[in-house]
Amino acid sequence: MKRDHAHLLPNAPALDASSALERTASAALDAVSQTTLEPLAEWLYRAPRWLPTAHAQTIVPALFAQRPAVKYRRERWTTPDGDFIDLDWLAYDVDGEGSKHAHSSAATANASPPVAPRELRNAVATSFDETAPLHDGAGRDTAAARGTNPPPDPAAPLFVLFHGLEGSSDSHYARVLMAEAKARGWFGVVPHFRSCGGSMNLLPRFYHLADSAEVDWVLRRLKAQHAGPVIAAGVSLGGNVLLRWLCEQEQDAAAILDAAAAISAPLDVHAGGHAISQGFGMVYTRSFLKTLKRKALAKLDQYPGLFDRDAMLAARTMHAFDNAVTAPVHGFRDTDDYWTRATTRPYLPRIAIPTLLLNARNDPFLPGRVLPSATEVSAAVTLDQPAHGGHVGFMTGPFPGRIDWLSQRVFGYLQTYVRPVDQVHHVAHQTDSEHG
């Protein structure tokens, strides 16, 4: 039975360990048990000694790491409610005449200079101009920029990435994950949440931690138009929204996704909100609020009186901002109601497809004490909780460091659950024969 995407998790009954869902998830994992897995030691994360603290492990990768340059092709979709979102697709030669249709910088052999991504750029007091090019002018007119990579097989996997709060396809994690997707011959796309693609959306709304309805229609449309497997990952806010969708869909998610990954997702939103509302955590809050308030003012220009302007401008914490803007605009009673309904941790036993949950135990956005144990998630969930890594950091190597451990870990897991292209073709051929 197709599950309505408006299904609310707090109203659903709890599951016990002996439920049919647990048995379904266990069977799904048994089905791939013939696949040889990488040794566990292959994926153990160790922070470099020159990044000794959680905040250093978070900020340095986001602001100063050398990020691979990635060429995108932009596509705008009309949403079911009459708004729009922008999607950035990995660009291959077939996308047309080199960089003519590319949205951003090209994939080159050398990494582009480190450029602070939008979501933490304000931590170093650099303003974000929504009219500026999304990728900070990093493009190069080279043979690589004009495109030399052939497109993937139509049956190759499609990697879908949902970005974090105030993130985009230009975020450091998006660049490194999309570069890995291209290196593996996969398709890749970053759907931007509303207002995050560089243009203000049309309707009186933004995006939020519980926006699973948005993920639902996006994934269903992508699945309908793609011949091969579809794999999804979400980072921070995007990871939380993806997990919420997986928990709501339960076993029905298998008809759309083969596997998923959530990276540094705020599994307990109350605990996470408190963590970044005190001490050094306020650095991140101030960074987010600068762009969020700028967008909120632009939304008030579109819809005067939509929310309390003075309360929004006076907000100094995410709790206060969500109380003034996010909660009332999106139908929540207040911040506490919003954060409670957005918290996914209690519902992780409902996930029925292979899913990696990667959370550093020293993440400044989420205390390690609230991370789930193996007994608190379904059999389909793999927990990876290294002692270090920060928030979407996971930098390795000697100074100035590398940020590719994250992509290797995520794709190393996801690849395990993806059928080879020749098997996809064989299944498709059998289906055509049966109907022909």
pLDDT (mean) for 343-367: 98
Backbone angles phi, psi at 429, to 5 degrees: -65, -40
Tell me how long the chain is. Answer: 436
Domain covering 57-267+354-435 in this structure, CATH number:
3.40.50.1820
Average pLDDT, the chain: 82
pLDDT digits (tens, 9 = 90+) for 125-162: 222 222 233 333 333 333 333 446 789 999 999 999 99
Q: Which residue, among 429, 401, 329, has the nearest Cα to 49 in the 3D structure?
A: 401
Residue 121 has pLDDT above 50, yes or no: no
pLDDT digits (tens, 9 = 90+) for 382-419: 999 999 999 999 999 999 999 999 999 999 999 999 98
Task: Please state whether beta strands 187-191 and 230-235 pair in parallel, antiparallel, or not at all (unpaired).
Answer: unpaired
Counting Cα atoms < 13 Å in the Cβ hemisphere of 295 gives: 26
Residue 98's pLDDT is 39
Q: What is the DSSP letter of 322?
A: I
Structure tokens at 187: 């398709």
pTM of the model: 0.80
pLDDT digits (tens, 9 = 90+) for 207-220: 999 999 999 999 99
Structure tokens at 22: 């647990």
Structure tokens at 369: 């004490």
Show Cβ contacts of residue 185 under 8 Å, excluding neighbours closer than 6 positions.
Answer: 152, 153, 156
Residue 419's pLDDT is 80
pLDDT digits (tens, 9 = 90+) for 68-111: 999 999 999 999 999 999 999 999 975 444 333 334 433 333 34
pLDDT digits (tens, 9 = 90+) for 14-60: 333 334 444 444 444 443 333 333 444 457 899 999 999 999 999 99
Which helix (H) or strand (E) segment is 75 a member of? Answer: strand 72-78
Angle at 262 between CA 231 and CA 91, to 5 degrees: 45
Residue with tokens 């793999």: 382
Task: Determine the Cα–Cα distance for residues 335 and 331; give it in Å rounded to an integer.
Answer: 11
Which position has the higher pLDDT, 69 or 117? 69
Instruction: Please report which confidence band the pLDDT of residue 7 belongs to, taking 50, 70 and 90 as the band edges.
Output: very low
The domain spans of the chain are 57-267+354-435
Residue 150's pLDDT is 84
Which position has the higher pLDDT, 427 or 102? 427
pLDDT digits (tens, 9 = 90+) for 167-179: 999 999 999 999 9
DSSP string, 386-431: -S--TTTT--BSSTT-B--HHHHHHHHHHHTTS--HHHHHHHHHHH
Backbone angles phi, psi at 82, to 5 degrees: 90, 10
Measured CA distances, 177 to 51, 161, 205 (Å)? 22, 8, 29
